[in-house]
């Protein structure tokens, strides 16, 4: 009985003394993200609008004036990069070829998703909502509206992203 108690106490003490990672603080990270985004904009002499969510954007082509609504299916072409210029992904074959990332097993067609459906990162969904059909823009998305501190295979933790998005079609 004493032996079991000692082992349990040892295990508890080991966990209590082990260094625990600081918990993710999205508010602090958001401030870091916005600083990095603003530095990127300044370094590249760009002026962007600011959405209530914190997404910075530049509308390149206005489109036809019809914006997608929550629940509507949209089809978009996109390119995504890190702020250092690292290519991540695209739905456009020529962009994939230009970045030595072409995959002959993949179909390069507009990406489809439902606005507000929760199947894409928040920043991508929010950015697409700022476009109208036929429109395009550049979106600087804070990491807290992307992959947060988790990252992905190609995206480091706490990485803000630069997307170009063209809203090809809205399906009602």
**Residue 91, in any domain of the structure:** yes
Predicted local confidence at residue 6, as pLDDT: 38
In the three-class reduction of DSSP (H, G, I as helix; E, B as strand; rest coil), residue 80 is classed as strand
Predicted local confidence at residue 13, as pLDDT: 41
Digit-coded pLDDT (tens) for 78-95: 999 999 999 999 999 999
Write out the residue range of the structural domain in which residue 95 sits: 24-171
Which domain CATH number covers 34?
3.10.50.40
Does residue 125 contact residue 115 with C-beta atoms inside 8 Å?
yes
**Residue 124, in any domain of the structure:** yes
CA distance 120 to 113: 8
Predicted local confidence at residue 17, as pLDDT: 46
Task: Encode 82-132 in three state secondary structure.
Answer: ECCCCEEEECCHHHHHHCCCCCCCCCCCCEEEECCCCCCCHHHHHHHHCCC
Predicted local confidence at residue 23, as pLDDT: 85
Predicted local confidence at residue 128, as pLDDT: 98
**Residue 137, in any domain of the structure:** yes
**Residue 10, in any domain of the structure:** no
CA distance 49 to 107: 33
**Residue 85, in any domain of the structure:** yes
**Residue 125, in any domain of the structure:** yes
**Residue 11, in any domain of the structure:** no
Low-confidence ranges of the chain (pLDDT < 50): 1-19
Predicted local confidence at residue 21, as pLDDT: 61
Domain count, the chain: 1
**Do the strands 111-114 and 136-141 form a parallel or antiparallel pair, or are they unpaired?**
unpaired
**Residue 155, in any domain of the structure:** yes
Predicted local confidence at residue 10, as pLDDT: 38
Predicted local confidence at residue 142, as pLDDT: 98
């Amino acid at each position: 009985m004493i032996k079991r108690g000692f082992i349990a106490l040892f295990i508890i003490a080991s966990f209590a003394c082990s260094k625990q990672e600081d918990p993710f603080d999205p508010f602090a990270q958001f401030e870091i993200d916005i600083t990095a985004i603003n530095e990127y904009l300044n370094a590249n002499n760009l002026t962007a609008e600011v959405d209530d969510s914190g997404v910075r954007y530049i509308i390149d082509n206005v489109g036809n004036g019809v914006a997608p609504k929550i629940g509507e299916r949209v089809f978009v072409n996109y390119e995504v990069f890190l702020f250092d210029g690292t290519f991540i992904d695209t739905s456009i074959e020529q962009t994939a070829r230009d970045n030595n990332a072409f995959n002959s097993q993949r179909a390069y067609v507009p990406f489809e998703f439902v606005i507000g459906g929760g199947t894409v990162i928040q920043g991508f969904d929010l950015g697409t909502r700022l476009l109208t059909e036929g429109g395009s823009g550049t979106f600087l998305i804070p990491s807290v509206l992307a992959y947060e501190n988790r990252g992905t295979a190609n995206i480091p933790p706490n990485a803000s992203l630069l997307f170009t998005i063209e809203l090809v079609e809205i399906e009602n």
